[in-house]
Structure 1
Amino acid sequence: MRIEASWLDNPAVQQVCALLEAAGYQALYVGGCVRNTLLGFPVADHDLSTDARPDSVIAIMEDAALKVIPTGIDHGTVTVIAGGEPFEITTFRHDIETDGRRAVVHFATDVIEDARRRDFTMNAIYCDRRGDIVDPLGGIIDLRARRLRFVGQAAERVQEDYLRILRFFRFSAWYADPDQGMDPEALAACAAHLDGLDRISAERIGGEMRKLLAAPDPSQAVAVMQTTGVLGAILPGADMTALPILVHLEMQAGRAPDPVLRLAAIGGQGAADRLRLSKAEARRLSAIGQAARSGQGAAELGYRNGAEDGTAAVLLHSAFVGVSTPPAALEDVARGARAVFPISARDLMPRFAGRHLGEEMKARERRWIDSGFSLSREDLLA
């Protein structure tokens, strides 16, 4: 089987492989670039596998005047910059010892050994620079069926890296057919090894959750996470009940998937810390949640939070109470976001000062908002 894709025509894609082949080594693209091409999804990364050892890869690329970065050389990975793009090149390997977070690896010369250490069958499909497919484990069968399965024994793959529990749900949301349900063996392995998630850093967990919640519709995956106990293990107190409603409302409003908004719908104790959100993400998570529960009208939410987050708050409130969002509400958000309070504190000075000045400003702002932003500057100063 051969694939055709525009990225395979990229001169840099061809150059890196050709350099390895000219030195007598195999050079096979693997993982997301092959999987996404077969599914018709966009391709973002170019990951290569080879039987060349890291020192040989470095020598070959540097002889061709390409920049080489030893990003994970202990595990056989170097990053080569060609045509301004990064190419992650990893030597064929198999794991000889794991602790659930990291592995001690042994370099291999056989692509089958390399395939057997990967997480899912759909990620163990390779192709060369001509597009010829190498499929050691029959991953294309699963891919065509949109069926997500672990390579070999699910429990063994999970125990090699407990983050694979979250990767299973993330990949299910993005690539699996929801009508088929999820693989029972995989679910049993995830449920049986929940304690292993305690060994995984908050940064890695947060990264997986962001990617999961960015899927077009992660509702089913998150629902099964809750049923198996995975959701509660990483976000105690989280509840996905409002999530499918929110996803539907986002689609109705023509909004792109918003992971922070969806996280606000799920909730959970200490989500910002447990998922290592950035300061900006944490502030936005808190602000949207508070706004959705504030009881403010759509126009005021737009005025106080801006069009983007005002709309997010309106959708989240609708999801919490289980109702649709009227188009008029979204128009009110936009109207509120455009409104500018026509007076400033200086306009009330020196008549008012200190605490009284603040109270007067709030009272007049309240009158202005309640008027539908119609009161003029003269009205507010009268």
Structure 2
Amino acid sequence: MTRLTAPFLDDPALARVLAALSAEGAQALIVGGAVRNALLGEPVADVDISTSARPEDSIRLAEAAGLRSVPTGIDHGTVTVIADGRGFEVTSFRRDVETDGRRAVVAYSDRIEEDAQRRDFTMNALYATASGKVLDPVGGLPDLAARRLRFVGDPRARIAEDYLRILRFFRFLAWYGREADLQALAACRELRAGLAGISRERIGHEMRKLLDAPDPSRAVALMAEAGVLSLVLPGADPGDLPELVEAEHEFGTGALPCWPRRLALLAAPNAAGALRLSRDEARSQDQIAAALALHPPVAAWRHGRAVAAQSVLIRAARGEAPPFGWCHELARGAEAKFPLAARDLMPELSGPALGEALKRAEAAWIESDFTLPREVLRRIALRQEARA
């Protein structure tokens, strides 16, 4: 028997919720990511609960124990039970009645086996009791030990229930898998056209998580081989992604987020539209692309140190060695201040001529490695303008 040892098992708030839900004999189990991650020794973010109690009974039992509940997803059998100021998502055992590739019609069940059968991957269909006893209805423990990502049951049937599971397959492979089930890969390739019916917001959400994995390069390469990458991100080229991950380890990334840099490396022409990026995210992609065309200190001056650092790592992945002392160079560029202002060229110049003169002076200042003083730049601007 496998037994889970994890700090969250000693959480009094979790214990209160589990005790309340099981007060009249219903099963109340920790499920999914918390069990998977604890067994792998990975951090646990949220603890979700699965129960044989119906949603209305979960609410009643919680309130009887002095806990507040919120019907956050009542149509899907989910309520949030709040204990000690923290929310725990509680979902009743379910079985699928009808699916259309995007959403499912479900019926409640009393059996953990039926609930497990509707989950996506075997490593996500693991349950644990309040004492830590692990329940494995679909054979997920051997897969988890081997880091083998396998769909529950027939891969085609699981994907047909929700085509987003194709992207979830590659995302979970990047985060938790070493071995991809060949039948699962074949099903992802065969059914990839179903992703056309999935909203770009949901696709973008999955792609962000995938690209944030410690090393997504193998999973993304398999996506490309399966014809999935070109479908969700047309024009993307993952060829240099392994080198980017290596550069990140070699040169360090600090607090810089991973997925924007890795997405920029893929160089998909319309990534913002394909993944429904926010305005700020799209602007970041444009800035990184612009920084790639500039000398790193100049990139830091124009777009900021963080954007320039992203571009340095991408250039390193593409075979260009970073300049010596590049961190210092980026700091120097980011702190540089162009010493000439429009008022320095007035009243001699005005209108478009003034703008052109400032641009020429700026170009000379950049060419001098930010060293030319204001008076020299003023003379350059005025003399160039006189020649024009």
TM-score, scaled to structure 2: 0.93
Whole-Å separation in 1 of the counterparts to 2:201 and 2:87: 23
Which residue is equivalent to 1:349?
346
Which residue is equivalent to 1:183?
181
Q: In the TM superposition, what whole-angstrom CA distance separates every residue of 1:147-167 from its partner, at most 9, and x where no partner exists?
A: 111111111111111000000
How much has 1:239 moved relative to structure 2? 1.4
Which residue is equivalent to 2:225?
227
Which residue is equivalent to 1:81?
82
Whole-Å separation in 1 of the counterparts to 2:299 and 2:55: 55
How much has 1:110 moved relative to structure 2? 1.0
1:260 equivalenced with 2:260 (yes/no): yes
Which residue is equivalent to 1:246?
244
1:172 equivalenced with 2:169 (yes/no): no
Unaligned 5+ runs, structure 1: none
Distance 1:109 1:332, change over 3 A: same
How much has 1:342 moved relative to structure 2? 2.1
1:20 equivalenced with 2:21 (yes/no): yes
- Percent of aligned pairs sharing the same letter: 53
One-letter code of the match for 1:289?
A
Which residue is equivalent to 1:69?
70
One-letter code of the match for 1:341?
F
**SS of equivalent residue, structure 1 residue 22:** coil
> What is the number of equivalent residue pairs in this alignment?
376
Whole-Å separation in 1 of the counterparts to 2:169 and 2:274: 19
Contact 1:68–1:78 under 8 Å retained in 2: yes
Which residue is equivalent to 2:384?
none
Whole-Å separation in 2 of the counterparts to 1:299 and 1:252: 20
1:279 equivalenced with 2:279 (yes/no): yes
Whole-Å separation in 2 of the counterparts to 1:245 and 1:331: 23
**SS of equivalent residue, structure 2 residue 337:** coil
Which residue is equivalent to 1:143?
144
Contact 1:216–1:257 under 8 Å retained in 2: no
**SS of equivalent residue, structure 1 residue 28:** strand
Contact 2:23–2:61 under 8 Å retained in 1: no
Contact 1:93–1:114 under 8 Å retained in 2: yes
Whole-Å separation in 2 of the counterparts to 1:237 and 1:145: 34
Contact 2:315–2:321 under 8 Å retained in 1: no
How much has 1:257 moved relative to structure 2? 5.1
1:290 equivalenced with 2:290 (yes/no): yes
Whole-Å separation in 2 of the counterparts to 1:350 and 1:69: 67
Whole-Å separation in 2 of the counterparts to 1:349 and 1:9: 72
Contact 2:126–2:134 under 8 Å retained in 1: yes
Question: What is the aligned-residue RMSD (CA, Å)?
Answer: 1.5
Which residue is equivalent to 2:155?
154
Contact 1:298–1:330 under 8 Å retained in 2: no
Distance 1:347 1:8, change over 3 A: farther
Whole-Å separation in 1 of the counterparts to 2:322 and 2:113: 52
Whole-Å separation in 2 of the counterparts to 1:324 and 1:131: 50
Whole-Å separation in 1 of the counterparts to 2:290 and 2:303: 11
Distance 1:327 1:171, change over 3 A: farther
